[in-house]
Amino acid sequence: MKIYILGLGAGSIDIISKKGYELLKKEDIKKIFRTKEHEIIHELAKENIEFETMDYVYLSEPNFESVYEKISDIIIEKAKQYDEILYAVPGSPFITEDTTNIIIKKAQNENIDIQVIPSVSFIDAVICTIKKDPTKKLYITDIFNIDKSRINPLNNIMISQVYDRFKASELKLMLMDRYDDEQEIYIITSAGGKDEKVKTVKLYEMDYSDNEYSHLTSIFIESVEDKKYNDIEDLRNLLRTLRGKNGCPWDKKQDFSSMAKYVKEEANEVADAINNNDMDNLLEELGDLLFEIVFLTNLAEEKGIFSFEEVVDEIVKKMIRRHPHVFENMDISGKNVEDIWQEIKNIEKQPKNS
């Protein structure tokens, strides 16, 4: 048994691989397409290439995860039925295509051979459309799997499958936390296809009604020199500069002991701002306290004691341990959350066996 997984490319049949085209023309192989929503489908129909699609699965399943699982199960069963099948997906088989990895895993369990035939992805097509090479600093994702922490204006950002204006509006609001409203963005639809369109707009215009969106739409934002906000890495770099060779004499002479009083002072000022309900002052004082925390972790890093990453890792793990009712579905009926916290804390403080 064998499954060929074929990428149909970004658009026109002209950019599909020779191997892929030969498989599509092969008459004695069962052909299944994940979706008929691809420009190449119309061209294949003109050549009397017979195939079936999985579009009906989208109508019967509650979410995309279920859709992909169902499609993958069908493909495995079809391979058993026909011994050899061709499964074709838009673009590249591995780029923003969840079914490929699911099918490969299921096929291994069934001793079904897999051969993947690559093709031009939407990434190649978008790069050629905008005529830029963004690959040195590039974050690529689709609209369903955005990691907000990786939206860094210093990098190039490419987001695919922005399929309607509502999603574009949600994305705009997210991006406004990182970019100025006037930031220039590219809206690219059907990159690499005959109906290719590219439009440049300001970020605040992204969800205007005259912008067209479909499942073939991608957003590209070129890296900028000046970010809207500084982030934690900027603060860490600032500390390194202050304590560096050409840094500030006062900052350079500080140690753990001398910093203790400043940490206490800033913590008290945070408390005062809270007690006075002074949010403007709280914003400032939280920054001062954060500066002291980063200062201390920088001292520790200089001495090889621990790193900022270790501090963050430790507190995340601690909070997960102390909230078993949140992260482990622990039944706390009739129990006091504060008592649970204290019990776990007491266990953590017990001497570890050597």
Q: Report H helices in the chain.
A: 18-25, 39-46, 55-60, 64-82, 98-109, 122-130, 165-175, 232-242, 249-253, 256-275, 279-302, 308-321, 324-327, 337-349
- The two domains 2-120 and 124-221 share their CATH topology (first three levels equal): no
The 10s digit of each residue's pLDDT in 338-352 is 888 888 888 888 876
Tally of residues, the chain: 354
Please give the model's pTM, rounded to 2 decimal places.
0.71
Strand 30-33 and strand 217-221: the pairing is unpaired
Side by side, which strands form the sheet with 52-53?
52-53, 30-33, 84-89, 2-7, 113-117
At residue 300, the pLDDT reads 96
- List C-alpha distances in Å: 332 to 56, 342, 346: 43, 14, 18
Burial of 73 (0-12, 13-18, 19+ CB in 10 A): middle
- Which CATH number does the domain 2-120 belong to among 3.30.750.24, 3.90.1300.10, 3.40.1010.10, 3.30.530.20? 3.40.1010.10
Topology of domain 232-322 in CATH is: Helix Hairpins (1.10.287)
At residue 124, the pLDDT reads 87
At residue 132, the pLDDT reads 86
Q: What is the pLDDT along the chain (354 residues), one digit of tens a residue?
A: 999 999 988 877 777 888 888 999 998 999 999 998 887 887 888 888 889 999 999 999 999 899 999 999 999 999 999 999 999 998 889 988 999 999 999 999 999 999 999 888 888 888 988 888 888 889 999 999 999 989 999 999 999 999 999 999 999 999 999 999 999 999 999 888 788 899 999 999 999 999 999 988 999 999 998 888 888 999 999 999 999 999 999 999 999 999 999 999 999 999 999 999 999 999 999 999 999 999 999 999 999 999 999 999 999 999 999 888 888 888 878 788 888 888 888 888 887 664
Host H or E run for residue 113: strand 113-117
Looking up tokens 């949010």 gives 279
3-state class percentages of the chain: helix first, strand second, coil last, to nearest 5: 50, 15, 35
CA distance 132 to 158: 12
Topology of domain 124-221 in CATH is: 3.30.950
CA distance 57 to 88: 15
Domain boundaries, the chain: 2-120, 124-221, 232-322
